[in-house]
Amino acid sequence: MFDRGDLAICDFNPSWCLEEQSVNARLALVTVVDDDESVRESLPDLLKELGYAVEAFASAEAFLASDVVERTDCLLLDVAMPGMTGPELQDELTRRGRAIPIVFITANHDATVRPRVMASGAVECLFKPFNESALAEALAVALRGI
């Protein structure tokens, strides 16, 4: 560092800059909640390739019992699951005051599903199988501003 009048100027050190960014940067945490094991195994790999940190749970109850709830930036949430459904989890999170952007995913191509979950505040509802670009776009919308 050198002093020019009363303005202190640091030498630019690119390696220090990169180290500082990696220490301060935090990947957005996308949590997958889906009872389908194949989804829980494949989707995290894709999400990591897209640059996100990922956690996955087989049920809404397991997610709620974890410490991941408070760290989750976005939920990829199956609509229909045994036990607590995706919309029921959304309601429970609202009741707890935890506003997490939700992208619903579903294999149910019933025409009433998407309007119902969107009316409840979902960012998007993707029908399985969905493509990478649709997922990436939904996540970009959900995570805008974090």
Q: Which CATH number belongs to the domain containing residue 81 in this structure?
A: 3.40.50.2300
For the full predicted model, state whether its pTM sits above 0.85.
Answer: no
> Residue 67 domain-assigned?
yes
> Residue 126 domain-assigned?
yes
pLDDT for the residue numbered 11: 40
Here the tokens at position 143 are 């995570």
> Residue 13 domain-assigned?
no
Confidence of residue 20 (pLDDT cuts 50, 70, 90): very low
> Residue 118 domain-assigned?
yes
Section 91-105 average pLDDT: 96
> Residue 99 domain-assigned?
yes
Task: Domain of residue 77: give its range.
Answer: 27-142
Confidence of residue 24 (pLDDT cuts 50, 70, 90): very low
Domain count, the chain: 1
Confidence of residue 146 (pLDDT cuts 50, 70, 90): confident
Section 91-114 average pLDDT: 94
> Residue 100 domain-assigned?
yes
> Residue 121 domain-assigned?
yes
> Residue 134 domain-assigned?
yes
Here the tokens at position 65 are 């019992």
Confidence of residue 82 (pLDDT cuts 50, 70, 90): very high
DSSP for 15-56, please give it.
Answer: HHHHHHHHHH----EEEEE-S-HHHHHHHHHHHHHTT-EEEE
Chain-wide mean pLDDT for the chain?
A: 85
Confidence of residue 25 (pLDDT cuts 50, 70, 90): low
CA distance 73 to 8: 38
Helices (H), the chain: 14-24, 37-49, 60-64, 86-95, 113-119, 132-142
pLDDT for the residue numbered 6: 38
Do the beta carbons of residue 104 and residue 124 sit within 8 Å?
A: yes
